[in-house]
Structure 1
Amino acid sequence: GLSGAIIGVDVGVLILRDDVEGVTPIPIRRDEPRDMIGQTFTAVGFGQRPDGPAGLKYKGDGVISNLTGGVLYTEQTICQGDSGGPMIQEAPERRVIGVASFGQAGSCP
């Protein structure tokens, strides 16, 4: 099962000295996104795809169903191998609201 001890350790932050050409960073939302419950978000990952093999970038939309203890729960979850990928709020402004950490088997969108 999922232990509270592992929640919050599925992220790394890399700070670059110089800008990367052709890449526009997405700002990180720093407050709890309680207003996102019931709203759509975008997840990006390289895990198992619903239509094929893992290892190819895949983007999908989901709906946030709950926020408990800093953990966002979604109607559709990520696929195996997507951990570490961003959860992105698209509107009113594009911001990273979380990091994919775990999903339930068989619920890959």
Structure 2
Amino acid sequence: MILKRAALIAGVLILASAGAATASTGADRRLIVGGTLASTSEAPWAIALTNSNSSKQSSRWCGATLVRADKIITAAHCMTKPADSYTAIQGRADLLDDETGRTSAISRIWIHPDYTNNRNDFAVLTLAQPFTGVPTLKLETDPKADRKGVVPTVYGWGDTEDTGPADTLQKAAVPDLGDSTCLADKGYVGNGYTAATNICAGYLEGGRDACQGDSGGPLVLNGRLLGTVSWGRGCADRGYPGVYAEIAPAAPILRTQLDR
């Protein structure tokens, strides 16, 4: 089954949060699988997005990236609830430790106008309380940055399938496999994979991958936001890499929102 890494939508591959309105498919995939613990000091721009409708004790929902003091980028498919139900959290490695980090409500949600069939899976959220003084991550604007052989790193608080503590910031290096790998799978193509809008990254042997709860989180290469967690088939399953929304093709329209 193809799952988004936020909520499970029947018949579609999505990767957002196990806590986000999950269709009754019986599947409950988990956080970055096979990763290692990450610190908020090494990734201060990594944002946890919680929601009051989440079934998780931590209210975990999705991931996001701080790209301006008052703007974060996440996945469009994470935006299924009212703006006032979301909270952005910065600087909190363990989501159950509410004595650390900073929080902000969301004052505005923008969804990419061409978001459809798992393509252009982007949303820009405006923070009611800017995270001033926190390093931000620059957008990757060169489409050539998505190329086979480079090894970006994905960050998130999502499910781990017992390879690490849940609700805790983790990271995993996921090699870029090139568009041809995902385009060779009819299921991926049928669920919207295109070279123009996506990045195919992970391990064909399985074992390491983003998962439910990681949707919208950062895929980072050379200090820039290369992509965001979007979807995949299962989590870390053999033969099925993760799919990321590619930043560079969308950078011009994203920037118009970031500068508002």
Q: How many residues align?
A: 104
Give CA deviations for 1:39-80 in whole Å, capped at 9, x if unaligned: 110101111125234321111111001131321001243122
| Structure-1 separation of matches of 2:147 and 2:129 | 33
Moved over 6 A (4+): none
- Alpha-carbon offset, residue 83 of structure 1: 0.9
Confirm whether residue 71 of structure 1 aligns to residue 198 of structure 2.
yes
Q: Mind listing any 5+ residue stretches in structure 2 that lack a counterpart?
A: 3-11, 14-115, 180-194, 204-208, 238-260
Aligned to 1:47: 158
Aligned equivalent of 2:123, options 12, 16, 25: 12
Query: With structure 2 as the length reference, what TM-score do the two structures score?
Result: 0.35
2:156–2:171 Cα contact (<8 Å) kept:
yes
Cα RMSD (Å) of the superposition? Answer: 2.7
Letter in 2 for 1:75: G
Q: Mind listing any 5+ residue stretches in structure 1 that lack a counterpart?
A: none
Aligned to 2:226: 97
2:146–2:178 Cα contact (<8 Å) kept:
no
Letter in 1 for 2:160: R
Higher normalized helix content (fraction of residues): 2
Residues 44/33 of structure 1: CA separation in 2 closer, same or farther (3 Å cut): farther
| Structure-2 separation of matches of 1:81 and 1:17 | 23
Confirm whether residue 107 of structure 1 aligns to residue 236 of structure 2.
yes
2:154–2:173 Cα contact (<8 Å) kept:
yes
Larger Rg: 1 or 2? 2
Query: With structure 1 as the length reference, what TM-score do the two structures score?
Result: 0.75
1:43–1:78 Cα contact (<8 Å) kept:
yes
Letter in 1 for 2:196: G
